[in-house]
Structures are given as structure tokens and as C-alpha cells.
A and B are shown apart, each in its own frame.
Chain A
Amino acid sequence: AQTVTQSQPEMSVQEAETVTLSCTYDTSESNYYLFWYKQPPSRQMILVIRQEAYKQQNATENRFSVNFQKAAKSFSLKISDSQLGDTAMYFCAFILPNTGNQFYFGTGTSLTVIP
């Protein structure tokens, strides 16, 4: 079975500080893609960052970066210089190419940025 675990239901961070959201996953496949999605109060799902499992280099996107540890099946998200607009629910997810379009999501981490 494929699973995604986000063990931190809620987190908070001071504005301008750095925060790391954790995510672990389980799959027996070796080829997959990992994602972090952000869901602000508007409820829109917004892609934050993606990582191909076959790439060793960690993905970065402006203030967002990941720490991808394939052997440990860990995919944490680091947000640097946190901004008030980063307040949102964050979901970790992965897709297996061989299954076509079946996505697996974690239960989410609610992040609050404190002014």
C-alpha cells in the first residue's frame, strides 16, 4: 500500500524565520514524483514544488526547498524568510508513473505565520 505521513498537524513560525515541514512516504516503487501543494484560506490548491525521485539534487523554488532522502523515504519542505502569505495548509503527495494518475496525499500540515 502507498501511504504519505505528515506527522505535524499544526505548526507556527515567526515572520522572516525558517520552518521545515516533514513528510514521509511509503512505496515499493523506485520511480515516482513528489509534490508539495499549498492550500490557503481561499481553498485553492497551489503547487509549491516538485521532485523527481530519480534526481538526487534537491528541488528549490525561490524561498521553498526540499530535503529529499530517498533511502529514508523522506521529503521535507523548508520555507525560508516566512511571509504572512505562507499561512496555509500544506500537503505532501506523490504519484507513481506506472499507475497513470493515482495521486497519494498526506493529511496536511496547517502552517501559521505570526507577524
Chain B
Amino acid sequence: EAQVTQNPRYLITVTGKKLTVTCSQNMNHEYMSWYRQDPGLGLRQIYYSMNVEVTDKGDVPEGYKVSRKEKRNFPLILESPSPNQTSLYFCASSGRLAGGHGTQYFGPGTRLTVL
């Protein structure tokens, strides 16, 4: 089954404790992205990657890191989480626009709470 998986689905942590949210897709997609969703703000892109070892900042990259060492994986790293990073996070992937028409396939979301 074609899917994007994220782990963990729920996470409660404390300020300053480094954490990683994993994302994996099995569709051989070139493009992967991370978003955060906050009430009244919709989805905002944090980082995106157009291929292995190619990443770029989205609209709200501060406080986050990513890496793309393998095509299927795109982890999101919070080196020193703060309460303002409490949010719902989505990973997404998409194929090339010519064939995959840019349609984003989303993971199930990770609810992060930073105390």
C-alpha cells in the first residue's frame, strides 16, 4: 500500500530536549516536505527536499533541521524544542510534476506538545 508514515504520532516533551520525528514514504517520490498546522494559520511549510541531499527552507524553518540521506526518509529534527513549537506536524511526499502532477500525499500527522 502506497503511504507516508510518521513516528511518533503523539509526543509530549520538555523544553530543550532534542527530538526527531521520522518520516518515510514507499512511493519512490523525489519531493518531500514538512508542515506544521496551527489553528487559524492553516499549513505552513517548514522545509522541503527535491531529492537526496537537496533541502531548502520553507516559510517557517527557524528551530528545525532536516536531512535527506535516503530517498524514502526525511526526518524532522528539533535540536532544542520550545513551547511555541507545540503543533500538529505533517510530512508529505510527491512525485515529479510531469507525472505525479505535484499532488502531495500526507502522513497521518504528529501531535507534538512541548512543556
Q: How far is the CA of A35 from the CA of B40 in the complex (A)?
A: 19
Query: CB distance A100 to B104 under 8 Å?
Result: no
Does A75 have its Cβ within 8 Å of any Cβ on chain B? no
* Size bracket of the B interface: 20 to 34
Smallest beta-carbon distance A75→chain B, Å: 15
In terms of DSSP, what is the predominant structure of the interface of chain B? strand
In terms of DSSP, what is the predominant structure of the interface of chain A? strand
Most chain B beta carbons < 10 A, residue from A45, A95, A101: A101
Does B45 have its Cβ within 8 Å of any Cβ on chain A? yes
Query: CB distance A44 to B106 under 8 Å?
Result: yes
Q: How many contacting A-B pairs (Cβ < 8 A)?
A: 61
Query: CB distance A107 to B41 under 8 Å?
Result: yes
Query: CB distance B101 to A50 under 8 Å?
Result: yes
Q: How far is the CA of A9 from the CA of B13 in the complex (A)?
A: 31
The count of chain A contact residues (Cβ–Cβ below 8 Å) is: 22
Query: CB distance B31 to A107 under 8 Å?
Result: no
Pick the residue among B94, B108, B109 that contacts A101 (CB under 8 A).
B94
Give the interface of A toward B (CB within 8 A). 4, 33, 35, 37, 43-45, 47, 50, 52, 91, 93, 95, 97, 100-103, 105-108
